[in-house]
Chains A and B, each alone.
Chain A
């Protein structure tokens, strides 16, 4: 969430596109890692 706050400030202050996109990618990867961490078991479903 800190990364997202930094990203919002970077956008607001008109930071360079490279900085904004890099922060966005870091935020996305962090979110996916967090999702992976919390998904601990396969679903007990069969389609």
Chain B
């Protein structure tokens, strides 16, 4: 009969792991609001894109829409963190998993926006659409993806000391829920926008200039 204690064997999956330090409560609260700010930041970005689309009449090209998908795919894990935390089910493992998902989506989004930047990088090329604060939307998209990758890297590095901690105050919890609902509403608005743009086609035309569904139904241009 073996007398080996599996909890002392460094190769055993049953070994005792070093005790993790208790998260710092202040830093943990900062990380919670960091995740909320992450969602809010992309809400503002996507609303800005809608502003350009509806206010200035610039239709999003297929690559622009794909970058919006990447932004949503990067932000949904952050919303998952916030909602799990508000419900009291967030663990350190789930937190790090969500950050990893955000990084993967952001890297894909950065590749997509870099592709579009390179399409218009030659001197004399006016780029696609108008500029906002001196840069085109796809350039801003690349900047946001890089910021998300940096944020997630920092959050992962600090996960031994800070796992998001939801507030207990009803008003503050309401603010966090409100941001999540706003983000879900923006996704729903994007669903409607893409249906209007694509119509009965499966994909967008390369250079859309009208809402295809309205055109197909003969109720507008």
Q: List residues of A whose CB falls within 8 A of some B CB.
A: 1-2, 4-5, 7-9, 11-12, 14, 17, 20-21, 24, 27-28, 31-32, 34-35, 37-39, 43, 45
Contact = CB atoms under 8 A, between A and B. Distances in A.
A4 B89 CA distance: 22
Contact of B191 (A2, A20, A45): A2
Interface of B: 62-63, 66, 69-70, 72-73, 76-77, 79-80, 83, 87, 89, 94, 97, 101, 104-105, 108, 112, 115, 118-119, 121-122, 180, 183-184, 187-188, 190-191, 194, 203-204, 206
B190 A37 contact: no
B69 A4 contact: yes
Contact of B69 (A1, A8, A43): A1
Nearest to A47: B118
A31 B77 contact: no
A43 B112 contact: no
Contacts of B94: 17
Nearest to B80: A11
A29 B87 CA distance: 29
Secondary structure dominating the interface of A? helix
Given A31-B66, A32-B108, A38-B63, A4 B115 contact: no
Given A17-B94, A28-B105, A34 B83 contact: no
A17 B95 CA distance: 12
B119 A11 contact: no
B197 to A, nearest CB: 10
A1 B190 contact: yes
9 contacts: A4-B72, A5-B191, A14-B89, A28-B105, A34-B66, A35-B63, A35-B66, A38-B63, A43-B115
